[in-house]
């Protein structure tokens, strides 16, 4: 099969129908006992061969071919698993490739955690491996030069508490881009701390910006699944004077657009129940009011029904003037009756929320069984709320719950 693919590449042939047709024969148990290779013109019995194929996503695999396979989903790694993999496999491999020994360089686990949280954002460890390679190359240069550079003061020891405080602090530190030399300590082994990381890898690529982005009404955090693992997704809403139009931006697919229209319809029908009003004080939320929903990272295409509960929460925050809890993320499909339906990718989404430091996760009640796939140490750090309807979602997303005006209260107010 590899010969087929390389032939296509060499001939610059973009039509891979022949290759897919060959895979049909190879993977079909009714045909692969007499497979004939057209390149060698020799028959092979492949009925006893176990084929293992990998893909980032099943969306691009032809349905007929996918039907001949048994799909096994491989979720992303937790932070603890990444640290273990790094110190058992990645770091020893990079040390060997760069001619270094453990007596020359030490990378503490707190430094590895810093790299994972601030320099890589992935389900696997490929980027993490490259970061270790960059560190080893920098140290190898220092060792080859004789290691005569001066050291920075007060860098004798780094504790786990110091590293965690550094991870949590705001990224307002001075730039080190103009530092001419790497500030590595002269003694052996060389200890890689977060100061050395900034010298070698540059300023952190990712910051924990959750609390900063949830400082005003009309913002909520959702959970999304991508071929590279789970991701947190912000949803932002604003209202302005207009003619009752709903504007959606952020490279959205048709399914997500329908979820947005569904969310605003449900809120309009329940506006009096939740005492939601627009800027002019009307329960008709679109009365002389335009609504703009934006999904940041506009260059990335987004689709799927799982953002329904997030859109409802975002709009409820906008019209009530209340802030959504800064430690909560959610996922789930909604119906016009306010029910919350199950979605896929729960494990990857939960791991993404855990990486982002979120503590409360709202998921559909029918997805509760999927929590068994998540490691116990991750589950212990999180508070899961299972919801079967949007009433439960809103109560969990806001501090103090989300008050409902019952029919009896409405009757008493009339009397």
Residue 393 token pair: 């979602």
Catalytic: 282? Answer: no
Q: How many CB atoms are closer than 10 A to CB 209?
A: 12
Question: 333-334 and 328-330 as β-strands: parallel, antiparallel, unpaired?
Answer: unpaired
Q: How far apart are CA 104 and CA 224, in angstroms?
A: 42
In sequence order, the β-bridge partners of residue 225 are: 230
Q: How far apart are CA 385 and CA 64, in angstroms?
A: 38
Q: How far apart are CA 221 and CA 232, in angstroms?
A: 7
Catalytic: 152? Answer: no
Cβ distance 182 to 200 under 8 Å? yes
In which residue are the tokens 């491999």 written? 93
Burial of 375 (0-12, 13-18, 19+ CB in 10 A): middle
CA nearest to 131, candidates 144, 114, 156: 114
Catalytically annotated residue among 306, 317, 320, 326:
306
Catalytically annotated residue among 82, 142, 198, 349:
349
Cβ distance 196 to 106 under 8 Å? no
Q: How far apart are CA 385 and CA 370, in angstroms?
A: 13
The catalytic residues are 306, 349
């Amino acid at each position: 099969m590899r010969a087929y693919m390389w032939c296509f590449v060499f001939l610059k042939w973009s039509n891979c129908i022949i290759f897919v047709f060959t895979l049909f024969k190879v993977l079909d148990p009714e045909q692969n006992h007499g497979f004939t290779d057209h390149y060698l013109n020799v028959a092979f019995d492949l009925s006893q061969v176990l084929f293992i194929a990998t893909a980032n996503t099943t969306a691009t695999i032809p349905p007929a071919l996918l039907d001949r396979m048994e799909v096994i989903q491989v979720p992303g790694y937790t932070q603890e698993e990444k640290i273990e993999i790094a110190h058992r496999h990645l770091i020893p491999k990079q040390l060997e490739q760069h001619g270094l020994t453990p007596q020359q360089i030490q990378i503490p686990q707190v430094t590895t955690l810093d790299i994972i949280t601030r320099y890589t954002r992935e389900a696997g460890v490929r980027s993490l491996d490259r970061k270790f390679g960059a560190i080893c190359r920098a140290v190898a240069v220092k060792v080859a030069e004789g290691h005569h550079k001066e050291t920075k003061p007060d860098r004798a020891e780094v504790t786990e508490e110091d590293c965690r405080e550094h991870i949590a602090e705001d990224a307002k530190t001075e730039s080190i881009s103009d530092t001419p030399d790497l500030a590595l300590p002269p003694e052996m082994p060389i200890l890689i701390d977060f100061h050395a990381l900034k010298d070698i890898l540059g300023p952190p690529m990712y910051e924990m910006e959750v609390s900063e982005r949830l400082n005003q009404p009309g913002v909520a955090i959702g959970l999304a699944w991508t071929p590279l693992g789970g991701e947190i997704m912000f949803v932002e809403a604003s209202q302005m004077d207009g003619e009752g139009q709903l504007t959606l931006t952020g490279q959205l697919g048709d399914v997500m657009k329908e979820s947005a229209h569904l969310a605003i319809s449900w809120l309009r029908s329940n506006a009096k129940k939740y005492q939601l009003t627009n800027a002019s004080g009307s329960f008709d939320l679109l009365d002389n009011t335009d609504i703009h929903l934006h999904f940041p990272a506009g260059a990335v295409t987004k689709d799927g029904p799982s953002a329904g509960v997030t859109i409802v929460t975002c709009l409820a925050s906008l019209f009530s003037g209340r802030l959504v809890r800064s430690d909560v993320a959610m996922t789930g499909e909604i119906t016009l009756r306010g029910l919350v339906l199950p979605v896929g990718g729960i494990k990857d989404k939960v791991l993404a929320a855990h990486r982002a430091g979120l503590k409360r996760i709202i998921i559909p009640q029918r997805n509760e069984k999927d929590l068994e796939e998540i490691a116990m140490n991750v589950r212990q750090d999180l508070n899961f709320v299972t919801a079967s309807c949007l009433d439960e979602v809103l109560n969990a997303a806001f501090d103090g719950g989300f008050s409902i005006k019952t029919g009896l209260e409405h009757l008493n107010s009339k009397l």
